Amino acid sequence: MRIGIDCRTISNLDPEQEGVGRYTYELIKNLLKFDKKDKYILFFDRKLKDNLKNEFQKDNVEAREIPFYKYDKFVPGIYSRLLISAVINKAKVDVMHFPLSANFPITYKKLSIVTVHDLAIFKNPQWFSKRQTLSVKVSTPKALKLSQRVIVFSDSVKEEIKNIFKTPEEKIEVIPKGFEYIPFSFSRSEKEATLAKLEIRKPYILFFGTIDFRKNIEKLLEAFNFILKDKRLKNYKLVISGRPGRNYKLLLSQIKKLEIPDKVKFTGRVSNKEKEVLYEEAEVFACPSLYEGFCMPIIEALASSTPIVVSKIRPITDLVGEDSAILVNPEDENDIAQGIKMLLLDKDLQKRLACHGKKKVKRFNWDESARRTLRLYKKAARERAKKEREKRKKMKRRRKRKK
């Protein structure tokens, strides 16, 4: 079978990249580990970096470059998508996977599978720029309608798709992301050196993720301000690590207003090694998100045996359960504060949650995710082939009647 995968999200993959690019990369990497039979046609929109070129250089892999990416900003959207469809059609793939539904070319009519990461932009459009909203609100509904199968990472996103777009349940497949945890095994001096480089002093509470509206960091800051009023916890810092988003400047103003600038540290993006140290040395990981489609930082914290305080919303509750985390109301800063305080002041509870959390991580396996995705490719191809056979039979019967 000829399997096409849209790799535009990983053409310039950074080794530390998260999100859609990481999902696409890990999926392909694991598919190629065990599937030597099928042919993979990978579509990139620019020249590959050497590390990707070497990693994907297999006998059953063919990399194709979409030649007009440099001129995409000068080409109206519909024409750009027509050109992308033409490039894919020329490759004659049996099934085409678009790991980002927003990248689905709405003119593509052949067998396709799309991955929908979340529906935040439909449920809370105020969190996004007008350009983002316009693009996704056009492409995602079309992708859901025209594709033969839809992959999501959680049951909650599946339910949202059914309710908002009336997509048939049998069309949606829940395949959780995988997770690979390979600890770097730092010495105590190496950990201390890393924290010193990042200008972080212990003890601290950690948030990790893109700093945007959905992460609810405003409420976390208010909760942290309450925590500092407890004399037993006055020495704690709040470390906010991740790429700054649209509300970054608002958070800086809030910190100034709360008069806690010396208590809050923004690290910006960090390396994987630095990230591991941040998780391992944190007293508590806090993530009071208002909305999530999956939330990989929670899995990373559990893998690092860091006790967590997270929102009592789906799919987070599906990921962690009640025995691996303190669950809080993300709309209530007092509840967030009490949850964090309870964990900071109870070392036995920290150990118990960390132990249960470590076991939860074993459910998220890239090999299993890739195998389930391949089975879906083959199932969709069989179903399409069956429909085409039935269609040809009907046409043959009609011609016989006319004679």
For residue 393, what pLDDT band results from cuts at 50, 70 and 90?
Answer: confident
Residue 47 has pLDDT above 70, yes or no: no
**What is the average pLDDT across 194-216?**
95
Nearest residue to 210 via CA among 345, 144, 120, 341: 120
What letter would DSSP give residue 323? S
Write the DSSP assignment of 104-119 as a string of letters: --TT--SSEEEE----
CA dist 324 and 329 (Å) reads 16
Task: Return the CATH superfamily for domain 2-178+366-394.
Answer: Glycogen Phosphorylase B; (3.40.50.2000)
Confirm if 41 and 62 have CB atoms less than 8 A apart.
Answer: yes
pLDDT band (50, 70, 90) for residue 3: very high
Report the alpha-carbon distance of residue 115 to residue 107 in Å, rounded: 17
**How far, in Å, CA of 242 to CA of 185, rounded?**
22
In whole angstroms, give the CA distance from residue 42 to residue 62: 6
Residues of the chain with CATH 3.40.50.2000: 2-178+366-394, 188-361
- Residue 398's pLDDT band, with cuts at 50, 70 and 90, is confident
Determine the average pLDDT of the residues in 1-29. Answer: 85
| 3-class DSSP assignment, residue 265 | strand
Read off the pLDDT of each residue in 355-381 and give the average, rounded to a whole number. Answer: 94
pLDDT reported for residue 321: 86
**Which DSSP string do the residues of 137-184 spell out, in sequence order?**
HHHHHHHHHH-SEEEESSHHHHHHHHHHH---GGGEEE----------
> Looking at residues 119-132, what average pLDDT do you find?
87
> How far apart are alpha carbons 51 and 363 in whole angstroms?
29
User: What's the Rg (C-alpha) of the chain?
Assistant: 24
How many other CB atoms sit within 10 Å of the CB of residue 213?
A: 18
* 154, amino acid identity: S
Average pLDDT rounded to a whole number, residues 275-295: 96
- Contact assessment for residue 73 and residue 92, using Cβ atoms and an 8 Å cutoff: no
Closest to 286 measured CA to CA, from 269, 264, 262 = 264
Residue among 268, 272, 333 nearest 297 (CA): 272
Q: Which residue has 């993530």 as its token pair? A: 287
Q: Which of 364, 357, 359, 296 is nearest to 327 (CA)?
A: 357
Per the CB < 8 A criterion, the answer to whether 282 and 204 are in contact is yes
What SS3 state is found at 309?
strand
For the chain, the average pLDDT equals: 90
Whether 401 has a pLDDT exceeding 90, the answer reads no
Q: Look at residue 270 in the predicted model and tell me its pLDDT.
A: 93
The Cβ of residue 279 has, within 10 Å, a number of other Cβ atoms equal to 20
225 and 251 Cβ atoms separated by less than 8 Å: no
Q: What is the pLDDT of residues 57-110, one digit of tens each?
A: 899 999 888 876 655 555 555 556 678 888 899 999 999 999 999 889 888 999
pLDDT above 80: residue 144: yes
Long-range contacts of 11-16, Cβ-Cβ distance < 8 Å, separation of 24 or more? 11/44, 11/45, 11/46, 11/47, 11/48, 12/46, 12/49, 13/49, 13/51, 13/52, 15/51, 15/272, 16/269, 16/270, 16/271, 16/272
Name the CATH architecture for the domain at 188-361. Answer: 3-Layer(aba) Sandwich (3.40)
- Read off the pLDDT of residues 147-192 as tens digits, 9 standing for 90 and up: 999 999 999 999 999 999 999 999 999 999 999 877 778 899 999 9
